[in-house]
Amino acid sequence: MTEHVNSYYAASANQHAPYPTLTEQLECDVCVIGAGYTGLSSALHLVEKGYSVVVLEAARVGFGASGRNGGQIVNSYSRDIDTIEANCPPDQARLLGSMLFEGGQIIRDRIQRYNIQCDLQEGGVFAAETARQLHELKAQQARWQKWGNDKLELLDGDGIREVVASDRYVGGLLDKSGGHIHPLNLALGEAEAIRMQGGRIFEQSAVTSITPGQPALVKTAKGAVKARFVVVAGNAYLGNLVPELAGKSMPCGTQVVATEVLGEERARSLLPQNYCLEDCNYLLDYYRTSGDHRLLYGGGVVYGARDPADIERLIIPKMLKTFPQLADVKVEYTWTGNFLLTLSRLPQFGRIGPNIYYMQGYSGHGVTCTHLAGKLLSEVLSGQAERFDAFAKLPHYPFPGGRLFRIPFTAAGAAWYTLRDRLGV
Ligand SMILES: Cc1cc2nc3c(=O)[nH]c(=O)nc-3n(C[C@H](O)[C@H](O)[C@H](O)COP(=O)(O)OP(=O)(O)OC[C@H]3O[C@@H](n4cnc5c(N)ncnc54)[C@H](O)[C@@H]3O)c2cc1C
């Protein structure tokens, strides 16, 4: 597994003691595999409800995408509700629509309730480079308003230049209920909250096998856990532990750089209101400033999640296209992380047998939906399956080309969408 190589987040993480490695045989109500947001949110909701929970993490808390991402609290799912409304029965679409903005509220609730220091800033912007993208943002505004988001503002050319000092954009959509956080510190704070409520977390404890049964048996190299329920939350880092999950999704890498400290004045000259921003391209750029006034700029996708040789070469041209005024600025940190793509770009939730659950495949936007996933998991284990099942009923498709050809096939599809973005059609 790739380490947090030169990650700004690892370098600026809040002080925390490591969790032990599992070296014994334990019993519990729920064994959670993976300490990213999906696993942590599940575990925290469960311990709050009184379940005994063991979390097993192969590396460290927040080692995966949850400790490496752009930190953007983006509402909705990676495909918006119009796709769901067009393809799902009305009752299912209604339930999924009613949850569009819940993940962001859960994050804010966690930060407040457990006093998590993770640099929360309110407000996120979707920026349009073409008239077609702006037209789509207007339609998105109407959809989100219909589902109860009254914190949206459409920005014209002048409006977007007030929130970002770049001439790349023709307009945008400001979502004041979006925002940004230091993602690793959020994960570490949630882990600490689980520990405080009696949950047990083990790091360097990769799960090597899951034997179904009542209870199920989850094994690591040095220990084992018998659990009434198992939650598989390894997402893009799960490998082949559960072969039926590996076949219907594809790990993808995306890269981020952090500049040297710019100072508050220069940081605010780029993003005056300190909103985070992502563009509307199929392969999108996303950026924001950090608590210590660096620019964090991400973008690019590597299908199959191989590590790109030179992150700076990939990302710095994108950053300078947006902010040519940063030509003199040094990049101090570069890192990569893996997210899990599904063919529909909608998340995959479900069951393997009666007591093994999984949630994965957020397809690039997962900060909010992972938090929602954990809440829904705690609902389904307490006998309320309706909201979990609204997700579980979404179809899960295998990638065309199978495991051998899915990477070139998907890259060809992405090239087509990128061309459309460039042509503005
Ligand atoms: C660089 C990057 C930028 C992103 N930016 C954004 C953004 O700005 N906004 C947004 O909404 N989304 C963003 N995303 C997506 C988002 O970060 C993810 O969707 C989300 O964090 C997934 O959380 P997770 O808990 O499901 O998976 P992860 O955070 O990847 O956690 C999975 C964990 O499971 C562990 N694991 C795997 N296998 C085993 C095993 N066998 N035994 C034990 N543990 C195991 C791994 O070590 C890992 O810690 C980004 C993703 C990346 C990579």
pLDDT digit string, tens, across residues 327-379: 999 999 999 999 999 999 999 999 999 999 999 999 999 999 999 999 999 99
Give the C-alpha separation, 201 to 373, whole Å: 19
DSSP sequence for 304-333: T-PPPS-HHHHHHHHHHHH-GGGTTPPEEE
Checking if the pLDDT of 81 tops 90, the result is yes
pLDDT above 90 for 93: yes
Do residues 372 and 101 lie in contact, with contact meaning Cβ atoms separated by under 8 Å? no
Whether 415 shows a pLDDT value over 80: the answer reads no
CB distance 406 to ligand 1 below 6 Å: no
Whether 34 is in the pocket of ligand 1, judged by its Cβ within 6 Å, is yes
Are 375 and 352 within 8 A, CB to CB?
no
**Residue 121: what pLDDT?**
98
Whether residue 72 has its Cβ less than 6 Å from ligand 1: yes
E-state strands within 328-421: 331-341, 348-351, 356-360
Using the mean position of ligand 1's atoms as its centre, give its distance from the Cα of residue 64 in Å.
4
CA dihedral 400→403→404→408, nearest 10 degrees, is: 50
Separation of CA 383 and ligand 1 centre (Å): 27
Answer for the pair 142, 82: CB distance below 8 angstroms, yes or no.
no
Q: Is the CB of 296 under 6 A from ligand 1?
A: no
Q: Is the CB of 206 under 6 A from ligand 1?
A: yes
pLDDT band at 2 (very low <50, low <70, confident <90, very high): very low
The answer on pLDDT for 226 being more than 60 is: yes
3-state DSSP call for residue 92? helix
**pLDDT tens digit sequence for 138-191:** 999 999 999 999 999 999 999 999 999 999 999 999 999 999 999 999 999 999
pLDDT value at position 412?
58
pTM: 0.95
As given in the structure block, the two tokens for residue 244 are 């039926």
37 Cβ below 6 A of ligand 1: yes
| pLDDT band at residue 404 under the 50/70/90 scheme | low
pLDDT at 192 over 70: yes
Q: Does position 234 have pLDDT exceeding 60, yes or no?
A: yes
Q: State which of 237, 286, 314, 349 you would mutate to test the pocket of ligand 1, scoring each by most atoms of that ligand within 8 A of its C-beta.
A: 237
* Contact status, residue 58 vs residue 207, Cβ threshold 8 Å: yes
33 lines ligand 1 (CB under 6 A): yes
CB of 71 within 6 A of ligand 1: the answer is yes
Residue type, 158: D
Cα of 86 vs centre of ligand 1, distance in Å, is 29
Q: Which atom of ligand 1 is nearest to the CA of 237?
A: 37
8 Å CB contact between 340 and 362: yes
Asked if the model's pLDDT at residue 416 lies above 60, the reply is no
pLDDT confidence of residue 409: 58
Pocket probe mutation, ligand 1, options 75, 225, 235, max atoms within 8 Å of Cβ: 235
> How many Cα atoms occupy the beta-carbon half-sphere of 408 within 13 Å?
3
Closest ligand 1 atom to 367 CA: 11
Q: Which residues of 300-315 are buried (b: 16+ CB within 10 A; e: fewer)?
A: bbbbebeebeebeebb
pLDDT above 60 for 417: no
**Cβ of residue 341 lying under 6 Å from some atom of ligand 1:** no
- The CA distance from 250 to 254, in Å, is 13
Cβ count within 10 A of residue 100: 22
Residue pair 152/175 in contact (Cβ under 8 Å)? The answer is yes
Is the CB–ligand 1 distance for residue 103 below 6 Å?
A: no
Ligand 1 atom at minimum distance from 187 CA: 29
Mean pLDDT, rounded, for 112-141: 98
Contacts of residues 214-221 at CB distance under 8 Å and 24 or more positions apart, as own/partner, are 214/354, 214/355, 215/27, 215/355, 216/31, 216/355, 216/356, 218/31, 218/33, 218/56, 220/22, 220/56
Q: Residue 186, SS3?
A: helix
Asked if the model's pLDDT at residue 1 lies above 50, the reply is no
Can you give the pLDDT at residue 283?
85
- Separation of alpha carbons 69 and 62, rounded Å: 10
Q: Is the dihedral of CA 367, 368, 370, 375 positive or negative?
A: positive
Q: Whose CA is nearest to atom 32 of ligand 1?
A: 234
170 lines ligand 1 (CB under 6 A): no
